[in-house]
Amino acid sequence: MRIRRRLSGVAMVVLTAMLMAGALGSTAVAAQIPPLDIFPSERTVSMVASDGTSVTFTLRRAGGSLKQKETVLASEGRAEVQFLDPLKPGDRLTVKRGAATRTLTILRLTLAVPDRVTDLLSGKGTNGRTVRLTVHQCVLGTGLSTDCADALRRSVPVSGGSYRLDTTGSQNIRGFQVVDALMRSSAGDRYRADRTVPFMSVELDEPFVGEAGVPACTSRSAELRDQPGGVVIATALLDAGNCIGSLSMGGSPVDVGVGNQLTVDFAADAKMKIPAMIEGVELSKDTVGATCFANQPYRLQVFNGGGRDGGAFEGKAGAGGAILLDTSDHPTQPPVDIVEGHDMRLSCVSRKGDSIRHNVTVPS
């Protein structure tokens, strides 16, 4: 997950402070290499640098043998390299920019898949360091990234090579969240790892089911019942490449229907009773009646022909999941006059962060 713009301002402040300190002492040359942003799991290293600056990154094993050497030109205020080989603890990384050179030893930082059932965040780190954990809450229509709003931030020590944080009582770990782990070295380098909290997604009246944030998708399966606790009417195996599967029974596809229950085996709470979604559109009043999940977010998009987006409306469903939306009178969005032939897409998120959407065309 790239953080080029998000970190550049902070890194520039750190760089300025180091350069000022270097001017006063014998560390001026070393200070020309600013603190690095290191993503071990993504095999990526990034640093602040003026556009067009040539920076050479050399990665060696702990024993000194060369793993990879890359020279890059900085753009958008940063020089960044992605290595082919993993960044392993103990590897030696040398960064050279002009006459300035700095060598550091790669530290350990990993982040396990967040456990949305027990609300546990954990991973591996370097003893004596502290890991700052941030839970970012994303919303429908904004994508999943560490740019989403902070919902929780805690610092935990690394003990015995591991760290852990139980957020029970302070934050419900759920789908549509991204967890970011940050650990600093004594030189100020930032080691980072992030993961999307696992969730499933499905579409009403379609046979497809997908996952996000779930490793080893090929070992995951989905099951569709006619109602909660009822008869199994379809199953699916998820493809490792795109984490999507097609529900079927006896070789024939089975669409997800209202009142069905969908379960996916990546988490014990990955169960969804399918809501009614879009139930009616009244053209004379520009209103849409629908059912999502009780007190949970929804997003309705109205497409104004030819795939052009006529408007998007967000809100929370009522206590029973009911929605009555007037697209001509929605304070935060320009009005939309619904007419025959308009396409609509309603997206809903459950309490566990699983999502479902419904596509309809306004009938003539």
| Least confident stretch, 21-35, 158-172, 263-277 | 21-35
- Nearest to 98, CA basis, from 64, 67, 59, 71: 71
Backbone angles phi, psi at 198, to 5 degrees: -60, 140
**Tokens (6 digits) for 191:** 């080691």
**pLDDT per residue over 74-100, tens digit each?**
999 999 999 998 899 999 999 999 999
| Least confident stretch, 104-108, 201-205, 238-242 | 238-242
Residue 305 has pLDDT above 70, yes or no: no
Residue 1 has pLDDT above 80, yes or no: no
Report the pLDDT value the prediction gives residue 309, as an integer from 0 to 100.
57
pLDDT bucket at 239, cuts 50 / 70 / 90: confident
Residue 326 has pLDDT above 70, yes or no: yes
* Secondary structure of the chain in HEC code, one letter for each residue: CCCHHHHHHHHHHHHHHHHHHHHCCCCCCHHHCCCCEEEHHHCEEEEECCCCCEEEEEEECCCCCEEEEEEEECECCEEEEECCCCCCCCCEEEEEECCEEEEEECCCCCCCCCECCCCEEEEECCCCCEEEEEEEECCCCCCCCCCCEEEEEEEEECECCEEEEECCCCCCCCCCEEEEEEEECCCCCEEEEEEECCEEEEECCCCEEEEECCCCHHHCEEEEECCCCCCEEEEEECCCCCCEEECEECCEECCCCCCCEEEECCCCCCEEECCCEEEEEECCCCEEEEECCCCCEEEEEEECCCCCEEEEEEEECCCCCEEEEECCCCCCCCCCCCCCCCEEEEEEECCCCCEEEEEEECCC
Q: Which residues contact 68 (CB under 8 A, 6 or more apart)?
A: 58, 59, 83, 84, 85
**pLDDT per residue over 137-150, tens digit each?**
999 988 899 999 99
Q: Which residues of 190-209 are buried (b: 16+ CB within 10 A; e: fewer)?
A: bbbbbbbbbbbbbbbeebbb
Mean pLDDT, all residues of the chain: 89
Report the pLDDT value the prediction gives residue 220, as an integer from 0 to 100.
86
Report the pLDDT value the prediction gives residue 303, as an integer from 0 to 100.
86
Report the pLDDT value the prediction gives residue 32, as an integer from 0 to 100.
86
Report the pLDDT value the prediction gives residue 27, as an integer from 0 to 100.
38
The span from the CA of 336 to the CA of 35, in Å, is: 49
Q: Which residues contact 56 (CB under 8 A, 6 or more apart)?
A: 69, 70, 71, 94, 95, 96, 97
**pLDDT per residue over 344-361, tens digit each?**
999 999 999 999 999 999
Residue 192 has pLDDT above 90, yes or no: yes
**pLDDT per residue over 47-75, tens digit each?**
999 999 999 999 999 999 999 999 999 99
Report the pLDDT value the prediction gives residue 315, as an integer from 0 to 100.
93
pLDDT bucket at 306, cuts 50 / 70 / 90: low
Of 13 and 192, more confident: 192
Report the pLDDT value the prediction gives residue 308, as an integer from 0 to 100.
54
pLDDT bucket at 44, cuts 50 / 70 / 90: very high
Report the pLDDT value the prediction gives residue 21, as an integer from 0 to 100.
39
**pLDDT per residue over 196-234, tens digit each?**
999 999 999 999 999 999 887 767 899 999 999 999 999
Neighbours of 340 (CB within 10 A): 10
